[in-house]
Amino acid sequence: MADSKRVPRGYSDLLAALHDQRELLRNAAERYDGGSEVEAKNIAVRLRVLLHDTKNSHSLLAQLGVKERLPFLDTTNVEMPLGIPHFDLVFA
């Protein structure tokens, strides 16, 4: 069985990966805006690669050391108009 130890990527490799993810996200957004609703799944994958961290997996933006410095807009407390479902998201 092959050794499963991960080798850290260099900064230039991470920047290249960021460029690729931005381009893939931009293309998926254009297709979504053009009417391809299935692209929402592709967009979710791109955002996961950029932002999602677990015990065993580190997001691309965290690996680049910039995730904690980026401003994010929290819209979970925005009041929704009557009749529109609202889901409170809890992040731990």
* Predicted model pTM: 0.73
How sure is the predictor about 92, in pLDDT bands with cuts at 50, 70 and 90?
Answer: very low
Domain limits, the chain: 11-66
pLDDT, residue 6, reads 78
| Nearest C-alpha neighbor of 65 from the set 20, 7, 9 | 9
pLDDT, residue 76, reads 66
- Backbone phi and psi for residue 54, each to the nearest 5 degrees, phi listed first: -135, -175
pLDDT, residue 5, reads 77
C-alpha 20/C-alpha 25 separation (Å) is: 9
What would the pLDDT profile of 43-65 be if each residue is shown by its tens digit?
Answer: 999 999 999 999 999 999 999 99
C-alpha 51/C-alpha 22 separation (Å) is: 13
What would the pLDDT profile of 23-41 be if each residue is shown by its tens digit?
Answer: 999 999 999 999 999 999 9
Q: Are 25 and 43 in contact (CB under 8 A)?
A: yes
